[in-house]
């Protein structure tokens, strides 16, 4: 009955001309590669065929249509090494473990090299591009020059024996870890917790602010990290998320731990000479900005927008919001209009 339900719709669609006819070459190709290839690799061999059609071809080829599990090495995630705890932390941040034993991580292709490291670690492969074109990754810091959103890449592996052990080790009671965070991290010693934290920060941390932000249900986990000296200023922000900051001294110490961390999340500290050069460049930019932002006049004196707002006794936001509402007006016209309104008393000032 199961075979009839699967094959009958295909036969109807083929008869009506909605599918291309399956060729003998495709049947032979599937017959020769089905047993030693993953489903993703089969899709690459026949990119114009859907997954359902691939199973139909496999049935016609006389091969087993049972779920084929890629032979990965997920057991390495349980070998208690520094690398394994790092990747477990990364999985907590960006990964997903399903009830069917499927472990997957999906990232922007900006971090494809890092995802390749994880794929090599567990003996899997990176799928690129991600097969759902409606899911894209947009980041104002990593966007391409043409401002287009980046595509996604993914690593996926299934092991019905190892995946539940990972969930048990971390205390994941549900596949939705966003609102059901791990409950057994307090059992880890400092070495394991630090390695896991580095992976967690690589997944959910942001630079250069060195902040982490998660669902408010992760408050207990953040407090655990803070009690172990890994975070500070743990709090619930105005948007209802729990957030915290990684102190500079902690980042400098964790940077020395040998795990496959993201280099852009753990930059080397600046030398005294580099700090001095950075300070000089910042100061020069401020001077240039001040000179370039003073093209307006008020009572015969060159001023910037902020200086004009201070002299007139109005908020800086009043002038800029006026420009947003009336883009056809220049800032000089806005300053002159605001000056008239102040002199006539039509607007209130802070003086």
Could you report the per-residue pLDDT of 93-147, keeping only the tens digit for each?
A: 988 888 878 888 888 777 888 888 998 888 877 665 544 444 444 443 333 433 3
Structure tokens belonging to residue 132? 């759902």
Domain boundary among 18, 35, 61: 61
Residue 272 lies inside a defined structural domain of this protein: no
pLDDT in tens, 207-230: 888 899 999 999 999 999 999 999
Q: Are residues 29 and 131 in the same domain?
A: no
Measure the CA–CA gap between 175 and 181, rounded to whole angstroms: 10
Residue 281 lies inside a defined structural domain of this protein: no
pLDDT at 107: 82
Residue 17 lies inside a defined structural domain of this protein: yes
Lowest mean pLDDT among 16-30, 102-116, 262-276: 16-30
Q: Are residues 324 and 229 in the same domain?
A: no
Measure the CA–CA gap between 134 and 142, rounded to whole angstroms: 19
Q: Are residues 83 and 199 in the same domain?
A: yes
Task: Assign 1 to helix, strand or coil.
Answer: coil
Domain boundary among 33, 61, 89: 61
pLDDT band of 285, cuts 50, 70, 90? low
Structure tokens belonging to residue 208? 């250069």
Domain boundary among 249, 265, 281: 265
Residues, the chain: 351
Residue 274 lies inside a defined structural domain of this protein: no
pLDDT band of 268, cuts 50, 70, 90? confident
Q: Are residues 101 and 233 in the same domain?
A: yes
Residue 155 lies inside a defined structural domain of this protein: yes
Residue 44 lies inside a defined structural domain of this protein: yes
Residue 176 lies inside a defined structural domain of this protein: yes
Task: Report which of 259, 121, 110 is spatially closest to residue 199, judged by C-alpha positions.
Answer: 259
> Is the pLDDT at 286 greater than 70, yes or no?
no
pLDDT at 130: 47
CATH code where residue 160 lies: 3.10.28.10
Instruction: State residue 90 phi and psi, 5-degree precision.
Output: -65, -40
Split into its structural domains, the chain has a count of: 3
Q: Are residues 37 and 134 in the same domain?
A: no
Q: Are residues 104 and 245 in the same domain?
A: yes
Asked whether 347 and 341 are in contact (CB, 8 A), the reply is yes
Task: Report which of 159, 158, 175, 178 is spatially closest to residue 167, judged by C-alpha positions.
Answer: 175
Measure the CA–CA gap between 182 and 140, rounded to whole angstroms: 31
pLDDT at 10: 53
For residue 195, what is the DSSP state?
A: H
Q: Are residues 115 and 259 in the same domain?
A: yes
Q: Are residues 120 and 254 in the same domain?
A: yes
- In this prediction, residues 86-91 reach a mean pLDDT of 93
Q: Are residues 260 and 206 in the same domain?
A: yes
- Tell the burial category of 346 from Cβ atoms under 10 Å away from its Cβ (0-12, 13-18, 19+): exposed
> Where in the sequence is the domain holding 253, given as residue range(s)?
74-265
pLDDT at 351: 57
pLDDT at 310: 84
> Is the pLDDT at 288 greater than 70, yes or no?
no
Asked whether 180 and 173 are in contact (CB, 8 A), the reply is yes
Residue 39 lies inside a defined structural domain of this protein: yes
Q: Are residues 82 and 203 in the same domain?
A: yes
Q: Are residues 38 and 108 in the same domain?
A: no
pTM over 0.85, yes/no = no
pLDDT at 342: 86
Q: Are residues 191 and 314 in the same domain?
A: no
Measure the CA–CA gap between 107 and 89, rounded to whole angstroms: 15
Residue environment code for 71-104, b if the CB has 16+ CB neighbours within 10 A, otherwise e:
ebebeebeeeebbbbbbbbbbbbbbebeeebbbb
Residue in the block written with tokens 């997944």: 203
Task: Assign 149 to helix, strand or coil.
Answer: coil
> Is the pLDDT at 71 greater than 70, yes or no?
no
- In this prediction, residues 286-299 reach a mean pLDDT of 66
């Amino acid at each position: 009955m199961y075979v009839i339900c699967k094959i009958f719709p295909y036969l109807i669609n083929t008869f009506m001309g909605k599918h291309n006819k399956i060729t003998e070459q495709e049947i032979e190709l599937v017959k020769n590669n089905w047993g030693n290839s993953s489903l993703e690799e089969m899709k690459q061999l026949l990119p114009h065929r859907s997954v359902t059609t691939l199973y139909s071809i496999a049935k016609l080829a006389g091969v087993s249509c049972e779920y084929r599990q890629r032979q990965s090495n997920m057991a390495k995630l349980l070998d208690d090494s520094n690398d394994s705890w790092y990747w477990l932390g990364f999985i907590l941040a960006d990964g997903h473990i399903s009830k069917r034993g499927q472990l997957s991580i999906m990232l922007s292709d900006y971090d494809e090299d890092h995802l390749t490291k994880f794929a090599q670690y567990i003996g899997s492969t990176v799928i690129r591009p991600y097969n759902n074109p409606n899911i894209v990754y947009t980041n104002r810091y990593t966007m391409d020059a043409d401002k287009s959103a980046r595509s996604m890449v993914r690593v996926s592996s299934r092991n019905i024996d190892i995946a539940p052990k990972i969930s048990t080790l971390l205390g994941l009671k549900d596949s939705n870890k966003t609102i059901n965070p791990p409950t057994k991290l307090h059992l880890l010693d400092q070495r394991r917790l630090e390695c896991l934290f580095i992976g967690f920060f690589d997944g959910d941390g942001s630079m250069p602010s060195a902040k982490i932000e998660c669902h408010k249900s992760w408050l207990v986990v953040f407090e655990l990290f803070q009690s172990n000296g890994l975070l500070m200023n743990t709090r619930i922000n105005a948007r209802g998320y729990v957030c915290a900051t990684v102190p500079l001294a902690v980042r400098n110490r964790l940077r020395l731990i040998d795990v496959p961390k993201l280099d852009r999340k753990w930059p080397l500290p600046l030398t005294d000479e580099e700090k001095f050069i950075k300070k000089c460049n910042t100061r020069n930019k401020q001077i240039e900005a001040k000179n370039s932002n003073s093209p307006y006049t008020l009572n015969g004196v060159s001023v910037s927008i902020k200086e004009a707002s201070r002299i007139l006794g109005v908020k800086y936001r009043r002038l800029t919001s006026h420009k947003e509402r009336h883009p056809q007006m220049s800032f000089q016209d806005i300053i002159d209009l605001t000056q008239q309104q102040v002199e006539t008393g039509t607007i209130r000032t802070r003086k």
